[in-house]
């Protein structure tokens, strides 16, 4: 960890010597919080900046940035997969947590360079946080780093954050910015009516409740839980005894349908509360905060998400909420499309092609939902969608598959390059952009590579 912190300080010193910085980041919750952390640190340090958001970092994007002749470029939540290309064109600092390819960038902070796991120990936002706190005492940005980590699903394996994420979390708690609670891990505890929270539960999938408003209402009614007083009741409005009744009812139902005990345990874990945010809003719970950010950048309004990260609770937050409602509808429609069209199967993977039916910026989320609700999880799932630049590929695996040797970041990158595309990511989740018409060829390569990984074949 010492080497990581020393490099964070070195990157911070390089940034502080700049009079103007171009920040380039990814268009998801982790990318937005990463950019928000660095931009806020730059703003406080009196350094001019502009922010750019990209779906995927490709050579042509680097060329376009270089053509603008920036004094200094800071890449957040991306860049490590193209270090050689960046080194050739730009004076840059890379703050990333994805797998590293190439070399040549002197100011490069990435957990993988220090023997740490960028999938579970620290996110892009966490990397940015350590640099921001080296620039100055920006400890109040710790909640954004936690939001980024949850947006990157770094808590999923153990139902709690660990590694350097834990260091950030403990610092935020100690300084009064964050609170840790043990609670049910269903989404929407702050904002959704209880029956809606249960209806949209996908991990775990509750038989007769998930996906059914009627089923969720009947389930709660059978437990004697009033759905409303003057308004619809949320999880945070319930008495502790009512919460215990609901939890017991869910567990009993999952057991009766043969759910594995380990999966039932994953119903509970740590919840992270942002103490400076208003209770009952999407920003109070770190997971809900990450979702509202996803709903901005993935609909081509990353600047709205950035403004929310940097403290705008007026027009930007209002617009973000509108986008969130659209996002939820699109996810439901996307999942319905996959259910109707079905998922195709190969020896070592499953896949579906959404075409233009699912937006390329959310097809990865739909893939993850499909993996949780309509797949046994014994194989990774690969999703295709049309994008302006070609075919977007998003792949999702499980922790068990990773334990068996799956590394989607490596497999996707290798297979994409073989068909003239580019890609990469984490062991459990990855993405790529490939030419149209190359999907089947790509799948054949990918199926072969994943098979070798799971067999432990190093050839």
Confidence of residue 458 (pLDDT cuts 50, 70, 90): low
Global confidence as pTM: 0.82
Lowest mean pLDDT of 104-118, 165-179, 255-269, 403-417, name the range. 255-269
Domain co-membership, 48 together with 152: yes
Residue 247 and residue 107: Cα distance in Å, rounded? 48
Task: Judge whether 102 lies within some domain.
Answer: yes
Residue 357 belongs to domain with CATH number: 3.10.310.40
Task: Judge whether 336 lies within some domain.
Answer: no
Domain co-membership, 112 together with 211: no
Confidence of residue 285 (pLDDT cuts 50, 70, 90): very high
Domain co-membership, 172 together with 27: yes
Domain co-membership, 35 together with 124: yes
3-state DSSP call for residue 52? strand
CA 175, distance to chain mean position in Å, is 26
Domain that holds residue 416: 342-452
Domain co-membership, 11 together with 129: yes
Tell me how many domains the chain contains. Answer: 3
Task: Judge whether 383 lies within some domain.
Answer: yes
Of 156, 177, 198, which residue sits at a domain end? 177
Of 203, 234, 266, which residue sits at a domain end? 266
Domain co-membership, 222 together with 366: no
Domain co-membership, 190 together with 165: no
Task: Judge whether 328 lies within some domain.
Answer: no
Of 266, 293, 319, which residue sits at a domain end? 266
Q: Please give the backbone phi and psi of residue 68, each rounded to the nearest 5 degrees, phi first.
A: -85, -5
Domain co-membership, 171 together with 239: no
Domain co-membership, 114 together with 237: no
Residues 300-336 pLDDT 10s: 899 999 999 999 999 999 999 999 888 878 888 898 8
Task: Judge whether 152 lies within some domain.
Answer: yes
Residues 162-194 pLDDT 10s: 999 999 999 999 999 999 999 998 888 999 999
Computed from CA positions of residues 429, 307, 109, 27, in that sequence, does the dihedral angle turn out positive or negative? positive
Task: Judge whether 273 lies within some domain.
Answer: no
Alpha helices in 55-201 (DSSP H): 59-67, 83-89, 124-135, 142-151, 164-174, 194-199
Task: Judge whether 279 lies within some domain.
Answer: no
Domain co-membership, 31 together with 156: yes
Task: Judge whether 329 lies within some domain.
Answer: no
Domain co-membership, 16 together with 118: yes
Q: What was the pLDDT predicted at 459?
A: 57
Domain co-membership, 225 together with 260: yes
Residue 409 and residue 108: Cα distance in Å, rounded? 19
Residue 154 belongs to domain with CATH number: 3.90.1640.30
């Amino acid at each position: 960890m010492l080497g990581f912190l020393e490099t964070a300080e070195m990157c911070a010193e390089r940034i502080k010597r700049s009079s103007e910085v171009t920040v380039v980041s990814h268009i998801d919750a982790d990318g937005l919080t990463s950019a928000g952390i660095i931009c806020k640190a730059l703003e406080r340090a009196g350094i001019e900046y502009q922010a750019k958001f990209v779906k995927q970092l490709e050579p042509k994007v680097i060329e376009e940035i270089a053509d603008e002749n920036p004094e200094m470029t800071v890449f957040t939540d991306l860049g490590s997969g193209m270090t050689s290309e960046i080194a050739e064109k730009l004076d840059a600092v890379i703050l990333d947590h994805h797998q590293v390819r190439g070399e040549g960038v002197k100011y490069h902070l990435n957990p993988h360079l220090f023997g740490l796991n960028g999938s579970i120990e620290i996110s892009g936002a966490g990397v940015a946080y350590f640099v921001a706190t080296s620039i100055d005492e920006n400890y109040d940005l710790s909640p954004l780093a936690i939001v980024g980590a949850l947006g990157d699903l770094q808590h999923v394996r153990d139902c709690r954050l660990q590694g350097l994420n834990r260091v950030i979390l403990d610092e935020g708690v100690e300084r009064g910015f964050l609170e840790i609670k043990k609670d049910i891990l269903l989404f929407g505890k702050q904002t959704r009516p209880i029956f809606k929270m249960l209806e949209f539960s996908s991990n775990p999938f509750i038989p007769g409740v998930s996906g059914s408003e009627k089923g969720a209402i009947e389930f709660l009614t059978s437990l004697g839980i009033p759905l409303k007083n003057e308004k619809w009741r949320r999880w945070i409005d319930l008495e502790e005894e009512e919460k215990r009744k609901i939890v017991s009812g869910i567990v009993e139902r999952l057991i009766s349908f043969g759910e594995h005990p380990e999966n039932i345990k994953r119903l509970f874990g740590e919840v992270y509360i942002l103490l400076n945010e208003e209770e009952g809003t999407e920003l109070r719970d770190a997971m809900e905060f990450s979702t509202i950010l996803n709903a901005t950048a993935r609909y081509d309004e990353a600047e709205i998400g950035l403004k929310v990260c940097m403290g705008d609770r007026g027009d930007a937050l209002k617009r973000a909420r509108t986008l969130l409602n659209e996002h939820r509808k699109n996810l439901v429609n996307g999942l319905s499309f996959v259910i109707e069209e079905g998922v195709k199967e190969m020896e070592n993977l499953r896949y579906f092609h959404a075409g233009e039916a699912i937006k390329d910026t959310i097809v990865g989320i739909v893939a993850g939902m499909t993996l949780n609700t309509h797949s046994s999880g014994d194989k990774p799932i690969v999703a295709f969608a049309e994008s302006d630049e070609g075919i977007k590929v998003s792949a999702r695996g499980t922790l068990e598959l990773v334990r068996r040797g799956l590394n989607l970041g490596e497999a996707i990158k290798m297979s994409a390059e073989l068909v003239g595309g580019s890609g990469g990511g984490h062991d459990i989740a990855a993405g790529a952009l490939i030419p149209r018409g190359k999907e089947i060829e790509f799948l054949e390569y990918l199926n072969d590579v994943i098979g070798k990984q799971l067999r432990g074949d190093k050839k």
